[in-house]
């Protein structure tokens, strides 16, 4: 699978051999199957957050929660997966972080999302330090940085129509109006950034929005695997995608999704 010159493509001249079919990862059972493969999960998460993940562990508390929309009385599924990861920072140092993915098909009560984030925000790690006074080894509890990712099959904004909205913590002094450039344990452990993916906005992204940026190009290619405009007309559980628009780094993910049919995950 070679890296293409472009991701968006005109399919008018293609035949059936130019396509491949995968189970639709918008469905919780498919997405969970994908993310249970450690290497696939590494690719997905490192591409989303643009960090080098050295180690990744799947947390067993992931599940789907069913609630009712108070306005429509319709059932809403809130799906989440949790991971702990060791990332390598730009300065070469390693950091233990927690990544949680929440997935939903309809807008719902924001307090449901907040409740789950709150639980993970309190997670901590045990570290050993040397007491400078006694030189004895002591164990302390240290907060774990949390990265929440929301994958939504609906839009939350129509102001800029972006595919991903990311918040950025900016630490600014009020009087001197200068920003802190370095990590700050107190502030960083009491706040977090979030990533919000708006899948319906895939078709709002043009080639010029990503073509000169490696991170954006990879990110767009990854999310094209969730393109609901590519649903098989006869079966919404399948996506029909053009082979040549997907870079080589996604081969592991594509093969994992294809194997979902072999493993009969739909029962």
How far apart are the C-alpha atoms of 172 and 12, rounded to whole Å? 52
Q: What is the pLDDT of residue 200?
A: 96
Q: What is the pLDDT of residue 119?
A: 56
State mean pLDDT over 65-71: 51
How far apart are the C-alpha atoms of 123 and 55, rounded to whole Å? 18
Closest CA to 101 of 124, 78, 121, 68: 78
Answer yes or no: pTM beyond 0.85. Answer: no
How far apart are the C-alpha atoms of 50 and 72, rounded to whole Å? 37
Q: Kindly report the three-state secondary structure assignment for every residue of the chain.
A: CCCCCCCCCCCCCCCHHHEEEEECCCCHHHHHHHHCCHHHHHHHHHHHHCCEEEEEEEEEEEEEEEEECCCCCCEEEEEEEEEEEEEECCCCCEEEEEEEEEEECCCCCHHHHHHHHHHHHCCEEEEEEECCCCCCEEEEEEECEEEEEEEECCCCCCCCCCCEEECCCCCECCCCCCECCCCCHHHHCCCCCCEEEEHHHHHHCCHHHCCCCHHHHHHHHHHHCCCHHHEECCEEEEEEEEHHHCCHHHHHHHHHHHHHHHCCCCC
pLDDT tens digits, residue range 175-190? 999 999 888 888 887 8
Q: What is the pLDDT of residue 75?
A: 55
For residue 110, pLDDT beyond 50: yes
State mean pLDDT over 101-125: 64
How far apart are the C-alpha atoms of 5 and 245, rounded to whole Å? 8
Tell me what the pLDDT averaged over the chain comes to. Answer: 82
**What is the number of other CB atoms lying within 10 angstroms of the CB of residue 73?**
7
For residue 54, pLDDT beyond 90: yes
For residue 12, pLDDT beyond 60: no
Closest CA to 223 of 203, 207, 208, 238: 203
For residue 5, pLDDT beyond 50: no
Task: Please tell me the least confidently modeled range out of 61-70, 71-80, 110-119.
Answer: 61-70
How confident is residue 103, by pLDDT bands cut at 50, 70 and 90?
confident
Q: What is the pLDDT of residue 105?
A: 77
For residue 1, pLDDT beyond 50: no
For residue 260, pLDDT beyond 70: yes
For residue 125, pLDDT beyond 70: no
State mean pLDDT over 110-120: 60
pLDDT tens digits, residue range 202-219? 999 999 999 999 999 999
Closest CA to 47 of 255, 216, 247: 216
For residue 4, pLDDT beyond 50: no
- Domain ranges for the chain, please list them: 27-208
């Amino acid at each position: 699978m070679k890296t293409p010159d472009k991701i968006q493509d005109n399919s008018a001249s293609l035949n059936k051999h130019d396509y491949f079919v995968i189970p639709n990862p918008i469905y919780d059972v498919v997405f969970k199957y994908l993310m249970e493969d450690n290497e696939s999960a590494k690719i997905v998460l490192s591409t989303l957050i643009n960090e080098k993940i050295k180690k990744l562990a799947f947390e067993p508390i992931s599940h789907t929660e069913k609630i009712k929309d108070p306005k429509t009385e319709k059932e809403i599924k809130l799906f989440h997966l949790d991971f702990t990861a060791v990332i390598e920072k730009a300065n070469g140092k390693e950091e233990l972080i927690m990544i949680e993915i929440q997935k939903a098909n309809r807008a719902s009560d924001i307090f449901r999302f907040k409740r789950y984030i709150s639980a993970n925000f309190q997670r901590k790690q045990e570290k050993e330090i040397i007491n400078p006074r006694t030189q004895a080894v002591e164990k302390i509890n240290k907060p774990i940085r949390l990265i929440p990712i929301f994958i939504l099959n609906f839009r939350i904004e129509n102001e800029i129509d972006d595919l991903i909205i990311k918040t950025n913590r900016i630490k600014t002094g009020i009087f001197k109006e200068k920003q802190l450039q370095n990590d700050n344990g107190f502030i960083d452990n009491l706040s977090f950034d979030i990533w919000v993916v708006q899948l319906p906005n895939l078709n709002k992204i043009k080639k010029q929005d990503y073509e000169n940026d490696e991170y954006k190009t990879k990110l767009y290619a990854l999310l094209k695997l969730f393109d609901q405009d590519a649903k098989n007309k006869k079966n919404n559980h399948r996506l029909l995608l053009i082979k040549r628009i997907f870079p080589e780094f996604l081969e592991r993910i594509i093969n994992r999704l294809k194997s979902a049919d072999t493993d009969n995950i739909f029962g």
